[in-house]
Amino acid sequence: MSEETFGQLLRRLRGRLPLREVARRARAGKSYIDDLERDRKWPSRAVVVALDRALEADGALIAAYDASEASVPISDVNPPTAEMGLLRNLGWGDNSDELGEAATKRRELLHIIAGLGATALTPSSEDLRQYFDVNPLVDTQTLNDWERACGSHLQALVTRPADVVHQDLDVDLRTVLLRAKMMADQFGPDHARTRDMARVVSAMSTLNANVLTRLGRHVEAERWWRTARQMADASDDLHLALGVRSTEAGHMLSAGESDAAAILDLIHTAAPIVARSPNSYGAALMELALAKTLSRLGRHGEAIATLERVSDQLATGRLEVTIMPRYWANQQLTYARAVVFSAAGKEAQFLDAQDQILAGNRDYQYPIIARLHAALCIVVCGGVEEGARNAAEVLADVPSTYRTHMIDRAGRMVIRAVPIDRQTRPEVRDLRSMLAIEA
């Protein structure tokens, strides 16, 4: 007897319960759930949790999802970020072809939102505020809904092309910015609801900055990192504030557009926050950022010593933040080890870190980057031709839609590690060509 698929399990657990009722309970689309039951789409974990709760499955759906997720190819993963976004959660039904007042409101709201950007918190948003006063549709969004939306966007980030993720995230991000402004005006900046909404804005801004970094849009990314920091601080969640800053520092390094001095400055400005919780996981994350920056500067001994100083704390702890907890704890120590040990030419230690990344990372780009760091380690240890050839093979296997700026940046690190007198080797020239680097 063949093993039951996730869709078949979902259909069996639904039993006689109508699809529409399941959709209502899970706040998802009826047609989308039908696609899941027919194994035509693969859900995000946030949707699975909602479905498990809606069907009172006592964790059966979640267990089946976790057991089978690793075997799903990247191309098959299609988390419903749009379905989990603003339009899906406003309670307007699940039929995209619906007519009447609901469809009219949807088009009207989309038209207004389309004119918004990252500056939606300025007084020029007053017209839109008045629209929501008359049509308080956003009030149907609870804090839990927004946190679930963050989880859905995170799942999309690690499985789908960056440009697709950015399009879906943009609608929710613009709307949540406006909602945060409305709450601050209504309740004041120190109200619990305002601070909770600031946490959501910070999380979504972090995801957006991450996506923009992957797309190579560094100026925009820098602005969204600033927003993420400011809103984390406004939420008074010091763990979130440290998580955002450590992630920003890591992306500045991966993007390659900032010098080490700028990254060290970001790390040092976090000192007052670290002082409030010096032994926290968040403080240790800032140490990881420092270790990777020291590695960039060629100070390999200091980088390794910094890693070792916080290894035990990071191996056993976790960031005490409730929003997107998987984002902040996703193999941070292991990836830092890979970065530091590959640049230092510590082959045995690097291979141990690489094995952990390849075995446990759900973000498609980091296993690719780990393989490029393997090529870097080979070059640092003297195997220039082999390392360049391996890097070129890794890049050749990456579909163009998934080849992020951060992946290309890792490839360029291999080139820079090649001694000047060996830059003309055929394997190095081939790698240069793949990365569009002039000789």
- 280-294 average pLDDT score: 91
**149: which residues sit within 8 A by CB, 6+ positions away?**
46, 84, 85, 89, 172, 204
Rounded percentage of the chain residues whose pLDDT exceeds 70: 80
33-46 confidence digits (pLDDT tens): 888 888 877 777 76
Rounded percentage of the chain residues whose pLDDT exceeds 90: 40
- pLDDT for position 82: 33
- pLDDT for position 287: 93
Say if pTM beats, i.e. exceeds, 0.75: no
373-392 confidence digits (pLDDT tens): 999 999 999 999 999 999 99
Q: Please, are residues 197 and 179 in contact by the beta-carbon 8 Å criterion?
A: yes
- pLDDT for position 330: 64
Nearest to 355 by CA among 378, 373, 343: 373
pLDDT at 406 over 90: yes
- pLDDT for position 63: 87
For tokens 């690719």, the residue is 368
Structure tokens at 314: 């990071």
In the predicted model, what is the mean pLDDT of the chain?
80
- Residue 321 phi, psi dihedral angles, 5° rounding: -130, 135
149-197 confidence digits (pLDDT tens): 888 899 899 888 998 888 888 878 888 888 888 888 888 888 888 899 9
Q: Please, are residues 175 and 86 in contact by the beta-carbon 8 Å criterion?
A: yes
Q: How far apart are CA 245 and CA 228, in angstroms?
A: 9
Q: How far apart are CA 282 and CA 60, in angstroms?
A: 33
Q: Please, are residues 147 and 39 in contact by the beta-carbon 8 Å criterion?
A: no
Structure tokens at 122: 């300025």
Extract long-range pairs of 179-185: CB within 8 Å, 24+ residues apart. 179/138, 179/141, 180/121, 180/231, 181/120, 181/121, 181/125, 181/129, 182/129, 182/132, 182/138
Nearest to 356 by CA among 336, 385, 372, 380: 336
- 14-23 average pLDDT score: 88
| Confidence tier at 257 by pLDDT (50, 70, 90) | low
pLDDT at 421 over 70: yes
| Most confident residue range from 20-29, 54-63, 205-214, 277-286 | 205-214
Q: How far apart are CA 370 and CA 186, in angstroms?
A: 48
Q: How far apart are CA 200 and CA 303, in angstroms?
A: 33
- pLDDT for position 73: 44
pLDDT at 69 over 50: yes
- pLDDT for position 210: 95
- 15-33 average pLDDT score: 82
pLDDT at 89 over 70: no
Q: Please, are residues 213 and 162 in contact by the beta-carbon 8 Å criterion?
A: no
96-154 confidence digits (pLDDT tens): 333 344 444 444 444 444 444 343 343 334 444 444 454 444 444 577 888 888 888 99
pLDDT at 206 over 50: yes
Q: How far apart are CA 340 and CA 335, in angstroms?
A: 9
**251: which residues sit within 8 A by CB, 6+ positions away?**
209, 210, 213, 221, 225, 406
- 278-289 average pLDDT score: 89
pLDDT at 248 over 70: yes
DSSP H helices, 297-364, are 300-316, 325-328, 332-344, 347-360
Please name the amino acid found at residue 248: E
pLDDT at 212 over 90: yes
| Mean pLDDT lowest among 129-143, 194-208, 339-353 | 129-143
Q: How far apart are CA 407 and CA 389, in angstroms?
A: 16
Structure tokens at 324: 């997107």
